[in-house]
Amino acid sequence: FSPTWKSMSDHTKMTTMVALIEKGFEDQLVMSQDICKKHYLLEFGGLGYDHVVRRIAPRLKTVFGVDDAIIDKLLVQTPRRFLTVDQD
């Protein structure tokens, strides 16, 4: 089976993320990944569950100059806000 689409590279995704941050959308962005197939797992040759925190977040900082506060928003604050249900 061969997929009928081609996924964007990590570099392209990071470039797009940085462009959206620069346009002021940082509070609306979440950084995540999908592990839906066995071959995405580290033990089967994939990048593993920690790909975003081990590779992507550091590159956003070192290569693109995204600061720690924005990385925290993308990985912690905004997902928390999106996934919190108001009980009122």
Say if CB 30 and CB 79 are below 8 A apart: yes
In this predicted structure, the answer to whether residue 1 has a pLDDT above a threshold of 80 is: no
H/E run at residue 20: helix 10-22
CA atoms within 13 A on the CB side of 80: 6
pLDDT of residue 36: 86
- Helix, strand or coil for residue 28? helix
If pLDDT is split at 50, 70 and 90, which confidence band does 34 have? confident
pLDDT of residue 28: 94
Average pLDDT, stretch 54-61?
A: 96
**C-alpha separations of 33 from 10, 30, 57, 72, 76 in Å:** 11, 10, 12, 16, 14
